Amino acid sequence: MSGMASDHNTSSQEEYVPHYLQKEDPFASKLSREADIIAGFYLTVIGILSTLGNGYVIFMSSKRKKKLRPAEIMTVNLAVCDLGISVVGKPFSIISFFSHRWMFGWIGCRWYGWAGFFFGCGSLITMTAVSLDRYLKICHLSYGTWLKRHHAFICLAIIWAYATFWATVPFAGVGSYAPEPFGTSCTLDWWLAQASVAGQAFVLSILFFCLLFPTAVIVFSYVKIILKVKSSNKEVAHYDTRIQNSHILEMKLTKVAMLICAGFLLAWIPYAVVSVWSAFGQPDSVPIQFSVVPTLLAKSAAMYNPIIYQVIDCKFACCRSGGLKPKNSLKKSRTYTISADRDSVAMNETQLE
């Protein structure tokens, strides 16, 4: 029996040998030195901007941590995930690109792969929770009356447990982390799907629970929000100023959340497509020079969120010590100052001269 198993393993390896087993040094860069230097500078800029932007969100929110509302707590958690990717992961890849090879061996490769997947999964699941919050807040108004801070912390515990589970599953023997084909970065071992049915089951499970299912929830939530807004705009117009102002605020927060999700998905979907093709397409059919572009694009996702806050011209209360004060465009004749206390939201309308 052991001989048969040995023969089966040998035949499987003869059918397909992943790139990191085809050569003696899987960590040598397959790119030109000039390309590695450009990628290193690119990641350095991305890392600095991401660290400063998300660090600012966390720092300002820490000044009023006892006053943060549930939606703000989820926003801070997203900043923590993005900062974790920048601080824990990017230095490894930056040093390796400038060195023209992966410098940290297999242990460093597995750590880097785990950290990237852990914080990336945490970001996506956090955005899934935010999209559900927006959906319930806009489409089911009674939801906002019972959601308290402790519900947000329970949600955070679920998010971190979910990310920890799926990032750690490969260490249980059902998967692995491996170097990218270009050699200077590491990721999930997508190439296991080429070797066995168990590898295919592992890759499909990761894709469904850590990409497709969360993305489907996000898309469902925002489609329902868009439909609800279209049908309720006329109704809101008949309400008094307080309700109209509240509706405007909720929609601005929803726009921010939608842009954050769109930026994340646009950054990661090309990488997911290349990974799926590497797992289930023709072996080694993705050119090495092509595979590095989606990887670098995905690594930029952590930088977008602080920029999006500015583009939408809407500051979350966690970024201001005095509360959330959205600014209207110069074309409008009124501004609204919104300040939050423990029990209610007071809205004051100020006429501009």
Closest by Cα among 269, 275, 279, 332 to 124: 269
Answer with the residue of higher pLDDT: 117 or 286: 117
pLDDT of residue 84: 94
Please state, in angstroms and as integers, the Cα–Cα distance from residue 284 to each residue in 169, 189, 260, 278, 281, following that order: 25, 13, 33, 7, 8
Answer with the residue of higher pLDDT: 243 or 32: 32
With cut-offs at 50, 70 and 90, classify the pLDDT of residue 339. Answer: very low
How high does pLDDT run on average in the chain?
79
With cut-offs at 50, 70 and 90, classify the pLDDT of residue 312. Answer: low
pLDDT of residue 243: 55
With cut-offs at 50, 70 and 90, classify the pLDDT of residue 235. Answer: low
Strands 177-179, 334-340: parallel, antiparallel or unpaired by DSSP?
A: unpaired
pLDDT of residue 213: 95
Cα–Cα distance, 32 to 30 (Å, whole number): 7
Show the tokens assigned to 353. 């001269």
Answer with the residue of higher pLDDT: 204 or 147: 204
pLDDT of residue 289: 82
Q: Is the pLDDT of residue 331 over 60?
A: no
CB 184 within 8 A of CB 112: no
Q: What is the mean pLDDT of residues 51-60?
A: 89
pLDDT of residue 139: 82
Q: What is the mean pLDDT of residues 111-134?
A: 92
pLDDT of residue 19: 79
CB 93 within 8 A of CB 299: yes
Q: Is the pLDDT of residue 40 over 80?
A: yes
Q: What is the mean pLDDT of residues 88-98?
A: 94
With cut-offs at 50, 70 and 90, classify the pLDDT of residue 41. Answer: very high
Domains defined along the chain, listed by start: 24-316 (1.20.1070.10)
Chain-centroid distance of CA 12 in Å reads 35
Cα–Cα distance, 4 to 2 (Å, whole number): 5
Answer with the residue of higher pLDDT: 350 or 301: 301
Q: What is the mean pLDDT of residues 120-128?
A: 93
With cut-offs at 50, 70 and 90, classify the pLDDT of residue 335. Answer: very low
pLDDT of residue 20: 80
Q: Is the pLDDT of residue 351 over 60?
A: no
In sequence order, the 6+-apart residues with CB closer than 8 A to the CB of 308 are: 256, 259, 260, 263
